[in-house]
Structure formats: C-alpha cells, structure tokens
C-alpha cells in the first residue's frame, strides 16, 4: 500500500495545515455516506501533495478552522476530480469552500481528451496504471477502515497529485482561466441557497398545472424540503415527487381523500395529514394574483431543428478552440434562449449564460436566434 499519514487530532490537523499552506496545490477528495439522510455523513477526507498522502478522520477531529483557512487560501490551488457532492461536504464540515477550484475532469475536456472522463481513465492515460474498482460503496463510517478501503482512499488522491501537472501542461493560459472560472461557478452554486418556494418549478410535469395547482405544488414542495432538513431524511422519505404532483392535481380536502392518493401512507396521514390539509386550504383561499405564474409549456417538436442550429454555434467554437463540445453550451441554455421568444421572437439570452461563454458566444447566439425570426 502507498504510504500515508493518518490524521485524527485537531492539533495534528492544525500543524499539517501550516505546511500545506506553503504548497502550490493540494489534491482533495471525500468519502461520505448518504443512504438514509438528507445531509451527507462524512467518513473521510483525503488530501495529497507532492510531499505525501494524508487521510483526515472527521469522526474525531473537532476543529476544522485551520482546514477552512487552507481551503480559502487563493495561493494554493485545490485540485479535485468531478467534485460533485464533495463541495457540500467541505462546506458542512468546515464552513468554507475550496478556492481556486481546479477540476481535473473538466481540465481533461478543456485539453480535448474527452468529456466526463472518470478518475481511473485519467490515471490510465497519464500514468499507465490500472486502478482496481475498490471500495466505493463500502461503509466509510466504520472504524477501523479495512485495508481495501484505505488503499482505495489513498489512491483517490495520490495519483491525481502526479496527473495534475501533466494534465495542466496541456492547457494554455486561456483554457486554464476558463477552467478556473468554471470552478468558481461550481463554488458559487454551492454557496447559493435555493428558495424552498421555488422548488416546485423543478418537479417533473409541473408545467401541466394551472395557477391554483401550481400554488399547491409550491407549498407542498417547500413543506417537504423543510421536513427533510428538520428530520435529516431523504426528500422521498417524506413524499415522493409524483405524489406531490398528484396532490396538487387532485386537491384533496379531507383526510379520507388524502388517504386515497397513491403513495400517501397511513402514517403520513396520521402525523401530518391535518398540516397538509391546512396548507392546501390556505392556497385555495388565496386571491388569483397571489398565486404563482404557471410554467410555460416545453418547446414543441418543431423547435428541434432550431435547437440543432443553435447547438452548432457551440460545436463550431469547440472545433476552433480544440475543446470538448459538451463544455461549451449546455442544452438548457439553448432551450431557455429559444423558449424566451418561440416561435416569433424576440429572443433573449438566459441569465445562466455568463462569463467567458457570454463573452465569446453571446453575439453568435444572438445572431443565430435572430435567424429564427427571419
């Protein structure tokens, strides 16, 4: 097994963080369990530098302020791979987020190697080492961790410390800046707290509801989120999304009617039935102007050709700059742009088109959209 240092006291962590503050970069990863909880239960933090590998034990370390200072140090690049939920783990554990954030999965796409490369593929490509599948699904809250878990955890960061400089050498300054901008966007998204009153808009088929039904879905979605957070359980353990939609559509006004909704358990009716009925009754009593605006219908099939034309704007840019086309313009940006004025226009670029993408592609997209009207 590769050498590593097990860090399980706050004093140890503080001393090491002073050393890590002098490094040009640190590689970070996390292992957590989120099977039956709303919030992730952190089992391990992995860190690597050119000087060594470290496993940090969040089950016993109680002072993460030195680690938070490391995360916030702009002089130390934080290297991750497909960080996903890792950012939430860092935020909940230390109250801070890694800046600047350098995601090697995105870097591989900017280097035109491929989109969504897994860690094992990256290691194979640069180091010619084949990684075992390892202990991904194991219990990271158990102690002691098995040898297999320790090996998996160390390898998740040790090889990336070797890959990072090789991969970064493939990027010019412009691409590196784009990559770091994407990292900053990921961090900003993690800092953003979604208003519970807006969650209903993400429910599948919410666009089929009228204003009154949308108001019902709004309060039910917000209540579900509050319950999931308060009880620290998955959202679907409170109410599954299709049940939210059916409640909004059928608008039950009694406990008996509530029980007839498929997916509503007797336990839910017994413990929360009256609360749900009160919430829905409040919406039924609202004036029309106090209800949310219904969502627009999805674009029709005939918009597919227009979407393909917009997509070519991004594909052409990717070809010219030799980056993975999936990096350039997400489908949602194109859909939102087209939906803003379909079918006759005028069209507007969505607020989600920001940074270098707006700077380099905004005008070309506007031109392509204007062509839809002509």
Closest CA to 331 of 348, 351, 354, 314: 314
Q: pLDDT band at residue 138, thresholds of 50, 70 and 90?
A: confident
What is the arithmetic mean of pLDDT over 60-70? 98
- Average pLDDT over the chain, rounded to whole? 95
Q: Is the pLDDT of residue 2 over 90?
A: no
Architecture label for domain 5-191: 2-Layer Sandwich (3.30)
286 vs 137, residue with greater confidence:
286
Q: Domain-by-domain residue ranges, the chain? A: 5-191, 196-290, 301-373
Which CATH homologous superfamily contains domain 196-290? HRDC domain (1.10.150.80)
Global pTM value: 0.93
Q: Is the pLDDT of residue 334 over 70?
A: yes
Alpha helices in 6-146 (DSSP H): 10-20, 65-72, 86-94, 104-110, 119-127
Q: What is the CATH T-level fold of the domain 301-373, as seen in this structure?
A: DNA polymerase; domain 1 (1.10.150)
What is the arithmetic mean of pLDDT over 258-287? 96
- Confirm whether 5-191 and 301-373 share one CATH topology: no
Q: How far apart are CA 164 and CA 147, in angstroms?
A: 26
Q: Which residues are catalytic?
A: 29, 31, 86, 152, 156
């Amino acid at each position: 097994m590769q050498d590593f240092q097990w860090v399980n006291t706050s004093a140890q962590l503080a001393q090491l963080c002073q050393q890590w503050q002098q490094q040009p970069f640190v590689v970070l990863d996390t292992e957590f369990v989120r099977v039956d909880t709303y919030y992730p239960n952190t089992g391990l933090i992995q860190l690597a530098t050119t000087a060594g590998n470290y496993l940090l034990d969040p089950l016993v370390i109680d002072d993460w302020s030195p680690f938070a200072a490391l995360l916030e140090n702009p002089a130390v690049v934080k290297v991750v791979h497909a960080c996903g939920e890792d950012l939430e783990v860092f935020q909940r554990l230390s109250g801070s987020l890694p800046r600047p954030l350098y995601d090697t999965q995105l870097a591989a796409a900017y280097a035109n190697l491929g989109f969504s490369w897994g860690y094992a593929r990256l290691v194979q490509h640069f180091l010619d080492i084949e990684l075992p599948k390892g202990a991904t699904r194991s219990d990271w809250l158990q102690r002691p961790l098995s040898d297999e878990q320790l090996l998996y955890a160390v390898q998740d960061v040790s090889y990336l410390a070797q890959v990072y400089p090789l991969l970064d050498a493939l990027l010019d300054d412009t691409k590196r800046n784009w990559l770091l901008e994407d990292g900053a966007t990921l961090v900003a998204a993690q800092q953003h707290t979604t208003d519970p009153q807006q969650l209903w808009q993400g429910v599948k088929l919410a666009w089929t509801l009228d204003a009154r039904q949308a108001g019902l879905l709004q309060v039910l979605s917000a209540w579900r989120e509050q319950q999931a957070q308060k009880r620290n359980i998955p959202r679907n353990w409170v109410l599954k999304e299709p049940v939210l939609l059916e409640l909004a559509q059928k608008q039950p006004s009694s406990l008996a009617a509530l029980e007839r909704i498929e997916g509503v358990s007797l336990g839910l009716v017994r413990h929360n039935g009256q609360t749900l009925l009160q919430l829905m009754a409040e919406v039924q009593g609202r004036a029309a102007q106090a209800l949310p605006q219904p969502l627009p219908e999805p674009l029709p099939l005939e918009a597919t050709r227009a979407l393909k034309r917009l997509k070519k704007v991004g594909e052409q840019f990717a070809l010219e700059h030799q980056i993975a086309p999936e990096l350039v313009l997400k489908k949602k940006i194109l859909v939102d742009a087209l939906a803003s004025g379909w079918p006759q226009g005028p069209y507007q670029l969505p607020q989600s088109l920001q940074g270098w993408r707006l700077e380099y592609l905004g005008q070309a997209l506007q031109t392509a959209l204007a062509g839809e009207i002509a």
